[in-house]
Chain A
Amino acid sequence: MIRGWRCYSFYSFCLIGLAMALGFLAEMSAGPRFQPELFLPKAAPAGFILAQPPEFYGTESAPLADGHIFHFIDGGGVVYLNHGFQSVVHLLYKNEKADKLTVDIFDMGTLQNARTAFADEAICPAGFAVISVGTEAKAYHFEPDFFIYFVKDRYLIYAHVADDGQSGLLIDYVKRIFKEEP
């Protein structure tokens, strides 16, 4: 009886081990879920919290956990690919009133790529005001939207609020992001 029980336990243990190994292999073969080198801001904007886990998008040939750039910005992604786009992290924050604040960090591969993307009117159109966030940034006010583009290292960073009453808060947050180490 005891011998039978031991045998049953042994096989159960083996089965559990096999299931864990298969699960691990499946996880590995599902593709990269996270790129550690992707830049993530250390803290949320004042009064805001992350409304959902960060989303990660890669290219069609190297998609990340949430897919590729066309899943994220549809046809608008073509111009980013033209400038060497590698990946993007999408961060959505909300405050108590459910106001949204968005930060998208595009890894363009190199500083040069990030700069040429920043200079491309198909990404950063005309009609901006130049502001300083520690570096030169382009700020857009299309009522009621307010958003900013700037370059930090090889990243092109976009930050947006749907309520221009929070433009000051956004600028402060962007300044904080710029100071952080990638």
Chain B
Amino acid sequence: MICRTRRAFSLGPASRLFLAAAVALMICALAQGQPQPKSKVVTVRSPKVINSRNQVDLTEAKAMLAAGLEALTGKKEAKAAWAVLGLKPADVVGIKINCNNWTITLSPPAELLQALTDSLAAVVPANNIIVYEASIADLESSGFKRNSSTTGVRFMGCKEGAGFDDQERLSQIATSTCTKLINFASLKCVEQGLGASLFFKNHIGSLVEKDMPKCHGNMDFLASVLAKPSLKRKTILNICNGLRGTYKQGVPWYWGGIILGQDPVAAEWVGYQIINEKREQEKTAALPGLEYLKIAESKYGLGTCTPGHVDWVKIER
């Protein structure tokens, strides 16, 4: 009797195949019903961080960065927050900054950079942090001093020393010296069909010199910059200095904020929204379409610029 019952519930090969297909279909249907995880981008603003003389408050800059990291990672302590982003004590972290002095100085203020390096120093030794730009001259033009010594945060230029990787056509600071990277851009509007100069253009200074001009007008090339294996694999954070930015070429305003995100496409899209919001206030037409961001999303899979897929967390201090 028992045997008969068992036989009655046992399945033949065809039935098993049918059942497996049904289960697979159910799983697919469930997965499609699940909302896709959104790309989180955090903006932190404070009226206390910068005054109308372009002077920055270090304490407030540190507090803004801490608030941003917490919102991005869910961890209050810097050490834990950086761990979520993938930073390990033995890492060498490269911070690519944009020393932008023409016509309005948009280089990261020393205080904001210090807030970042102090926070990183909770995990890695200060000497394992390398702030770099295309050249030492660029760093010096923004008031940063070269330091290639074995103490303190290092400041290096791509042109001087490390050389370039032939395959990736990138500075070896990015490809070899550093194990993690932070893309530290500035909130800069260049117009002329190019829109804004944010995270994608920031790495122009990491490229071999011959490739730099390709970023101006060649949308596919610009979109591909952050798809270079070292930049894609090693970048743990995209952060934008928007304490003072430009909303039109050469026209600054004190936005008093920073943008943080792991998805460079989403973070860049947020940067555009911030600039366009200001342009709307000033009755200026919005910046042109985000052609290279769409290429970065669809062709290179670097993130998303689809509004519904971006989780924009706004913090006002």
Chain A residues in contact with chain B, CB under 8 A?
A: 60, 67-68, 70-79, 82, 121-123, 125, 127, 140, 142-145, 147, 158, 160, 162
Asked whether A73 lies within 8 Å of B102 as measured between CB atoms, the reply is yes
**Closest A-chain residue to B54, C-beta based?**
A144
Chain A min CB distance to B45 (Å): 19
Asked whether B249 lies within 8 Å of A76 as measured between CB atoms, the reply is yes
Asked whether A75 lies within 8 Å of B216 as measured between CB atoms, the reply is yes
Asked whether B212 lies within 8 Å of A70 as measured between CB atoms, the reply is yes
CA distance A140 to B251 in the complex (A): 9
Q: Find chain B residues with CB under 8 A from A73 CB.
A: 102
Known: A70-B216, A73-B102, A125-B250. A78 touches B192 (CB 8 A): yes
Given A75-B194, A75-B215, A142-B104; 5 other pairs, CB 8 A cutoff: A74-B201, A75-B192, A78-B217, A143-B53, A143-B54
Q: Find chain A residues with CB under 8 A from B102 CB.
A: 72-74, 76
Q: What is the predominant secondary structure among interface residues of chain A facing chain B?
A: mixed
B224 at the interface (CB under 8 A from A): no
How many cross-chain pairs have Cβ atoms below 8 Å apart between A and B?
A: 68
Chain B residues in contact with chain A, CB under 8 A?
A: 52-54, 100, 102-105, 190-194, 197, 201, 204, 209, 212-213, 215-217, 248-252
Asked whether A74 lies within 8 Å of B204 as measured between CB atoms, the reply is yes
Known: A70-B216, A75-B201, A127-B251. A162 touches B105 (CB 8 A): yes
Asked whether A158 lies within 8 Å of B105 as measured between CB atoms, the reply is no
Chain A min CB distance to B266 (Å): 22
**Closest A-chain residue to B102, C-beta based?**
A73
CA distance A67 to B193 in the complex (A): 24
Q: Find chain A residues with CB under 8 A from B216 CB.
A: 70, 74-75, 77-78
Q: Find chain B residues with CB under 8 A from A147 CB.
A: 103
Asked whether A76 lies within 8 Å of B190 as measured between CB atoms, the reply is yes
CA distance A79 to B192 in the complex (A): 7
CA distance A127 to B250 in the complex (A): 11
Asked whether A145 lies within 8 Å of B252 as measured between CB atoms, the reply is yes
**Closest B-chain residue to A142, C-beta based?**
B252
Chain B min CB distance to A93 (Å): 14
Q: Find chain A residues with CB under 8 A from B54 CB.
A: 143-144
Asked whether A70 lies within 8 Å of B251 as measured between CB atoms, the reply is no
Chain A min CB distance to B212 (Å): 6
Q: Find chain A residues with CB under 8 A from B103 CB.
A: 145, 147, 158, 160
CA distance A74 to B201 in the complex (A): 9
